[in-house]
Amino acid sequence: MHDINLITTIAFGLTAALVCGLVAKRCGLSPIVGYLLAGMIVGPYTPGFVGDLGLAKQLAEIGVILLMFGVGLHFHLDDLKAVKSIAIPGALGQSAVATLCGLALALAVGWSVTGGLVLGIAAAVASTVVLLRVLMDQGLVETAEGRVAVGWLIVEDIITVLVLVLLPALAPGAGASGGSIWATAGLAVFKLALLGVVMAVAGAKFVPWLLLRVARLRSRELFTLTVLVIAMAVATVGYLAFGASMALGAFLAGMVVGQSKVSHQAAADALPMRDAFAVLFFVSVGMMFDVREIVRQPGLVLGLLAVVLIAKPLAALGIVLVGGHSLRTGLTVAAGLAQIGEFSFIVAEAAKGLNLLPGAGHHALVAVAIISISVNPWVFNRVLALEPWLDKRPRLLALLTRRVDGVGQAANRAEQARAVPTGLGRVVVVGYGPVGRMVAARAAEFGIETMVVDFNVDTVLALQAEGKHALYGDATRAELLKEAGVAKAAHFIMTVPDLAVGVAVITAARELNPSLKILARARYQADGGTLEQCGADVVCYDEAEASTALSVVLRAQLKGDLAGRKSEE
């Protein structure tokens, strides 16, 4: 019976998430809104099918682990260093303002100080998924202001990780006096530091070594399984041996895997798993939402909504402008952070489990998340529209900002230091066998930089040792092609003749770059139509080349034989 409940909960939950996600996307909203609504539909507070909330929460734990693993995997110190002058003080200041506002709101409705602090902290952190989606839609991801917003969010994520470590010290029974509470918190921080040292010393050597050994087996299934095992194992060991949260262990595992030579393929493999379990995470959050609680305490929801949509953006804008950065940077950060999402839920869940947050607080956070995520694209457009309006009022603009955006230059330098070469003639070559080597050599003759994508890790490491650009991994993964720079490439050469692989790779490349010139290799002439339908511009055939070469050889031999006969005669 338990197994049936598990299957039906997953089946109904994912089906509802798919339907609601499609409707939300059709309405111009984030799919996250649809996932939360799906959870409400299959939850215990609405009529109809009721999923097993306990099982859903267990599946959601895997979602949290993979979400935090993904954050650690994409965490780059260079990104943070480039914008540290504004991102670190900005995130700390904005988080402090949001926390104090949440505390004041909680005290106004009769909560404890601890509950108010948790509510404020949960409301302070924005959703990484939502922010990146809005920045991508506006084409701002690679701009100076976009990098500041992302760096700001990285600091918020780090703050969240530290909060998750310290929450148990605030739980009832953790300590009867202030001194014992600080002692408990100190012990938690010490365990965290010890876990960090173990991961930095042992994990940073063993994990990349293990990934390389598995990669040399050239088995996609084993590599994907290894990535999943690392994420789950480190999270579990961190929890059992060091008392750290599962989320923290997964974050550290992601950071360690990110140092590996094959980290791009690890990220590509983790993304589908992360997305699937993240859906279940949001569904489980929606299942725990009771709209009746909102009706009972509308002031709590409205007050929290004011914190997220007004207090946070104004605090962020003020910090950016006081720091001497551009108005556009301030408006971008302010608008992008005017929402809450997955990390707010993670904090709320952890606090609720420790009896630090009343149930009404969790319901209020879900309601505010649904509203803020829904309106964030509209808020973003309206806020950015203030810039041209202010440009027409130079006196007001002069009072608001000084255009000193040196952080943008620093961010650009950091991005360039680890970016794929950009140029009009950049070529991405998939496969580095005899054909791939010849293509890359011809491109080099014309001074064109080439990015090679190959599933042989030793080939990739050898190319990297020579100072050439190469990535290890499965080119059918769109995430890997993004890292290879397909979106900005001029030419794409598919040298692997397998039809199924070619269809998947060419389809993914064409979706990333509609103007890309794609040259493909096929084994048989009959495969050409299929590859062209997928987006290949030119197809070359092994069959045709072999027949041509054999015809040339045969002709030469026949001429030789004929000449020999004539000489004998």
Q: Which of 52, 57, 32, 33 shows the shortest CA–CA distance to 42?
A: 52
What pLDDT is stored for residue 411 in this prediction? 45
- Topology annotation, domain 420-552: Rossmann fold (3.40.50)
The reply to whether CATH 1.20.1530.20 applies to domain 2-391 is yes
What pLDDT is stored for residue 105 in this prediction? 93
**Low-confidence residues of the chain, pLDDT below 70?**
1-4, 75-80, 129, 136, 141-142, 172-182, 184-185, 188, 243-245, 391-425, 564-569
Residue identified by tokens 């650690």 is 72
The pLDDT tens digits for 134-184 are 776 777 766 778 888 878 887 887 788 778 777 877 776 655 444 556 676
What pLDDT is stored for residue 77 in this prediction? 66
Q: In Å, what is the CA distance from 63 to each residue of 205, 246, 285?
A: 27, 11, 11
Count of Cβ atoms closer than 10 Å to residue 478 Cβ: 17
Helices 342-353, 53-73: inter-axial angle, 10-degree rounding: 130
Give every CB contact of residue 79 below 8 A, 6+ residues apart in sequence. 147, 150, 151, 154, 411, 414
Specify the pTM: 0.68
The pLDDT tens digits for 197-243 are 888 777 778 888 898 899 988 888 898 889 888 888 888 888 787 76
- If you count them, how many residues does the chain have? 569
β-pair partners for 35: none
Is-contact 318 91, C-beta < 8 A?
no
What pLDDT is stored for residue 424 in this prediction? 47
Give the start-to-end residue ranges of the domains of the chain.
2-391, 420-552
What pLDDT is stored for residue 82 in this prediction? 74
Answer left, alpha or beta for residue 30, where phi above 0 means left and psi between -120 and 50 means alpha.
Answer: beta
Alpha-helical (H) ranges within 204-326 are 204-215, 220-242, 246-257, 263-287, 291-296, 298-306, 312-322
